[in-house]
Amino acid sequence: MGSFSTPYLIGYNLACCAGWAMILSMALPSVVSALFTFSLSELSAALASVYGIDGVSKTLTIVQSAAMLEIAHAVFGLVRSPVQVTSMQVGSRIIALFAINNSPSAQVQFGAGLMILSWAFVEVPRYAFYMAALITGDATKKTPYPLFWLRYSLFAVLYPTGITGEMTCFLAAAKDPAFLAMLGEGKESIMYYFIMFFPAIYVPGSPSMVMNMVGNRKSAMKKRFARPVPPPRGLVWPEVTEKNGKKSRSSTPTAKGILAAAIGSVNKEMGDKTLNLKNWRFGYVKFLKALVNEQCKSEEACLTA
């Protein structure tokens, strides 16, 4: 799995990073021009036009739909992301994408551009960071610091703006006759309550999502700048053992040896079985009981063991 997963994940992250970068390259020029007019109405109009820019909607649909693979990555253990959290994050994006793709009203309001640009500004450094982590083999200390900082800092601005954009798309779709008529005449209420369910859960859910990233940032920064562990001095226990090329400091060999020597002094066969026990964590209790039983057989056995 490892030999296949790393090249695959690098390719996946590269493709997604490139897709979001394309969206930025297409959408940013008009928004930046509007910014320099220092006119709120011009900026709002530029944001409202982002979805309609040639190539933006198609690229957005492809690259955001591809994110559903991240749920599969979590399910099959290709990444360590929690399945439930990943499903919720990707799922909310897919619903927002569904709303904007099927609501002409949602496509032409400022929140559409705000949502698309917020997503793109978050995802370009995120996917670049993941690529760097896969290539260097260490997401905490070996990734370039600018990428590391962007990955764990941009959310403070872009999560609120992205959530605001998503909310405006939901609300615009809820008032759009074309969107409400998707299931046919007389079923408008189904689509209305479906799409309005999401603003209702965004209100209590958004703060927890932001605070989760705050916690992730704090943890990542702590690990990034943690002082190296000082070398051991004096008496060190447990001793360092090596198995399959990996070093560890397990107390199992010492504990197993002590128990085996105690039982073996009165019952050699049982002592040998103790040494050969593989599942020590869950099997040692049996031999501990065996030691007590041997000690109870005679005063001599008790003193010997």
Which sequence positions are flagged as catalytic?
A: 159, 166
How far is C-alpha 251 from the chain's CA centre? 33
Backbone angles phi, psi at 143, to 5 degrees: -70, 145
- Show the 3-state SS of 236-283: CCCCCEEECCEEECCCHHHHHHHHHHHHHCCCHHHHHHHHCCCCHHHH
- List C-alpha distances in Å: 108 to 45, 101, 146: 9, 11, 34
Which of 221, 212, 223, 220 lies closest to 82, judged by CA? 212
**Closest by Cα among 12, 33, 13, 100 to 60:** 100
In the DSSP assignment, the letter for residue 90 is H
37: DSSP letter: T
Q: DSSP character for 8? A: H
| Full 3-state SS string of 153-189 | CCHHHHHHHHHHHHHHHHHHHHCCHHHHHHHCCCCHH
Q: How many CA atoms lie within 13 A of 291 on its CB side?
A: 21
Q: Of 157, 127, 156, give the one whose Cα is nearest residue 216.
A: 156
DSSP secondary structure code for residue 33 in this structure:
H
